[in-house]
Amino acid sequence: MSDHDENPREPSARSWPRLGLGALSGLLAGGAALAVAELVAAAVRPQAGPVVAVGGAAVDRTPSAVKDWAIRTFGADDKLVLQLGILAVLTLFAAALGALAVRHRRTGAAAVLVFGVVGAAAALGRPDSTGVTDALPSVLGAVAGAALLYVLVGLLPAPRRELPGERGEGWDRRRFVLAATAAAAASAGAGVLGRALSAAGGREAVASRDQVVLPAPGSPAPAVPRRAQVRVRGVSPFVTPNSDFYRVDTALVVPKVDATAWRLRVHGAGVARERTLTFDDLLRRELIERDITLTCVSNEVGGPYVGNARWTGVRLADLLRECGVRPPSRGGPADQLVARSVDGMTLGTPVEDVMDGRDAMLALGMNGEPLPFDHGFPVRMLVPGLYGYVSACKWIEEIELTTFDAYDAYWVRRDWAREAPVKTQSRIDTPKPFARPEAGTVMVAGVAWAQHRGIDKVEIRVDDGPWQEAVLAAEASRDTWRQWSYAWQATEGGHTLTVRATDRTGEVQTERRTRTVPDGASGWHSVVVTVD
C-alpha cells in the first residue's frame, strides 16, 4: 500500500471500518512498543522505561501548585494516577496514529518513531540518567511499534476506488487476524518477561536487606512513657507502623538499592578529608536510636502527612566533623548540605541545624527493622525539626557541602523556601468531620507537634466559646508529636470544634491560614459535628 490520501469521494460508510481497523492496529502497535520498551528497560534499568522517564519529566516540569494539589487529592496514589494518565494519553494517540496510517501509512509509522524520540530525550534528561543506554528502551520500543503498525496497516482492505499500484478491494481477513493476534500475544509475553526480569533485578537488593542485622544501638532511645498514648478510640497510634507511614516523593519507581554495593560520598567546601563509606562502615559505627516525628511540607492543616517512628542510625554531625566540617557559627565556609539520592533528587539542609546538637542522623533502621525500600533503604537522612523536603533525603548516596547562594536544590528551584523549620501544628483525630455523636461526654482527641521545640499546651474551642485547655499525654521528647484529649460536654445541635497548640518557646499556633507553598501550611484545624 502506498502512502497517499484515500479518494475523498469514497463513501464514509466504507471509511469507518478501515479507520476502526487502523485504530486497532495503532493500539496493537502502541502495546508492542511499550512491551518491548519494558523488556529492554529490564536489561538497562527500570527507571529508563518510557512511561517512567516521561512521568518523571512531567513531575519535574509541573508547577508546584499542581503538585501540591495532586498530593492533597490523591495522596500516595499520585504516582499511580500520573502513570495511568500517561498510559491513557498514549492509548488515544496510538489509536489516532493507527487511523492516520490508514491514509498515510508511512507518516503514521514515522509518528510512532517521534514518540520514541520524546521518550529517549526524557530518559536522557533525567537527573539520574546513566548515559546513552537509557535511550534504548524508548528507541527500540518505538522501532518495534512503527514496524508493526506499518505491517498491520498494509494488511487492511484497500479503498473502494483503487489508485495505480493498489491492491484490489478484497483482502485476507484471516491473515490480518492472525497477525494481530500474534502481535498481541508477543507483546503480552514481552511485557510479562520484562516485569519478571525487573523483579529479578531487584532480588539482590531484597536479599541484601534480608541479610541486614542492625546492631544494638550504643545510645538507645529512652522508653516511651506509659501515658504517651491517650486511651481514646480514633487517635493515631503514638508510633506509626511502617506500613502506615506516609510516603511523599517523586520516584515513580521505588529504587531497589543493593546495600552491599551502596556507597556514600562526602565532599565539598570545608571538607578537609573527603570520604566514601559503605553500608558496613556505617554499621560498625556507634548507632543511636531516637523517636522522631517527620512532617511533609505538603501537609495541609489537619492533614495526614505526619508520622512518628523509632529511627536507628549514625550521628551525621559526628561524621561531618571527622571530615573536617565546621558549621558557619564556627567559621565553616559551607552553610548548606546538599544530599543527593540515587534517583537524582537533591535536598538542601542548613549545616548549622545539622551540627547544633540535635539528633540529625543517617538512618539505617525504622521501628526496629532495616528501612523499608519505600522509606529509603539502605540509608536515608533525617533532621528533627525540619520539613522533609529540606532534610529527609531517601536512598541517599552523596553529601556535598556548599552554600545556599551557590546552589538551589530541587524544591527550591520550584519556589519552595530554602530553609523550612516545622511550624507548630495540631490536629483533631476524633471525632471525625461530620460525625454524629450522642449528647453527653464526647472525647475530643488528637495530636500536636512542634519538632525540636516541643508542645507545652493544647486548647480546644467549641463554636465561638472560650478556649479550654486539653489534657496532654506524657511527652516522649521534644522531637516527637504529643497526644492530647478533652472531655467535651456535648449538647444537641451542630457544633464546630477547633484546636490550637502552644510550643515550648511560648509561640501560639497562628490562626492565619496559609497554603503549603512556600514553607508549610498554617492555621487552626476545625471539624464540624452534629450532636444527636
The Cα 25–Cα 95 span in angstroms is 8
Same domain, 265 and 162: no
Note whether 253 and 388 are same-domain residues.
Answer: yes
List pLDDT tens digits, range 164-203. Answer: 444 444 567 888 899 999 999 999 999 888 888 877 778 8
C-alpha cell at 31: 502495546
Which tens digits make up the pLDDT trace of 128-172? 788 899 999 999 999 999 999 999 999 887 765 544 444 444 567
What is the β-pairing status of strands 482-490 and 440-449?
Answer: antiparallel
Distance CA 155, CA 106 (A): 14
What per-residue confidence (pLDDT) applies to 165?
46
3-state class (DSSP) for residue 310: strand
Percentage of the chain lying above the pLDDT 90 cut:
73
Q: Which of 363, 387, 414 is the last residue of a domain?
A: 414
DSSP symbol at 126:
S
Same domain, 452 and 387: no
Residues 100 and 126 in one domain: yes
Residue whose cell numbers read 454524629: 436
Regarding whether 179 and 39 lie in a shared domain, the answer is yes
Give the number of domains in the chain: 3
The closest of 144, 147, 95, 142 to 121, measured between CA atoms, is 142
Q: What is the C-alpha to C-alpha distance for residues 147 and 189, in angstroms, rounded to an integer?
A: 18
pLDDT level of residue 2 (50, 70, 90 thresholds): very low
Say whether both 145 and 57 belong to one domain.
yes
Residue 284, pLDDT above cutoff 80: yes
pLDDT at 46: 85
State residue 55's pLDDT score.
Answer: 84
Residue 356 sits in the same domain as residue 441: no
Residue 382: give its domain's CATH number: 3.90.420.10
CATH number of the domain encompassing residue 518: 2.60.40.650
Tell me the per-residue pLDDT of 441-477, one tens digit each, with 9 for 90 and over: 999 999 999 999 999 999 999 999 999 999 999 999 9
Is the pLDDT at 91 greater than 50? The verdict is yes
d(CA 483, CA 525): 15
Same domain, 172 and 47: yes
- In the predicted model, what is the mean pLDDT of the chain? 91
Q: Does the pLDDT at position 386 exceed 90?
A: yes
Q: Is the pLDDT of residue 15 over 80?
A: no
Q: Which residue has the cell 520498551?
A: 37
pLDDT tens digits along 467-507? 999 999 999 999 999 999 999 999 999 999 999 999 999 99
Judge if 314 and 183 occupy the same domain: no
Percentage of the residues of the chain whose pLDDT score is greater than 70: 94
Q: Each residue of 57-86: b (16+ CB within 10 Å) or e?
A: bebbebebeebbebbbeebeebbeebbeeb
> For residue 160, what pLDDT is reported?
57
From residue 30, alpha-carbon distances to 26, 42, 56, 178 in Å are 6, 18, 20, 18
The domain of 53 spans: 12-201
Take residue 186 and report the three cell numbers written for it.
Answer: 508477543
* Domain final residue, candidates 370, 392, 414: 414
Please name every residue paired with 449 in a beta bridge, in sequence order, or none if there are none. Answer: 425
210 in a domain, yes or no? Answer: no
Residue 119: Cβ-neighbour burial (10 angstroms; 0-12, 13-18, 19+):
buried
Q: Does any domain span residue 338?
A: yes
The pLDDT tens digits of the residues spanning 420-440 come to 999 999 999 999 999 999 999
Of the candidates 229, 230, 265, 311, the one whose C-alpha atom is nearest the C-alpha of residue 479 is 311
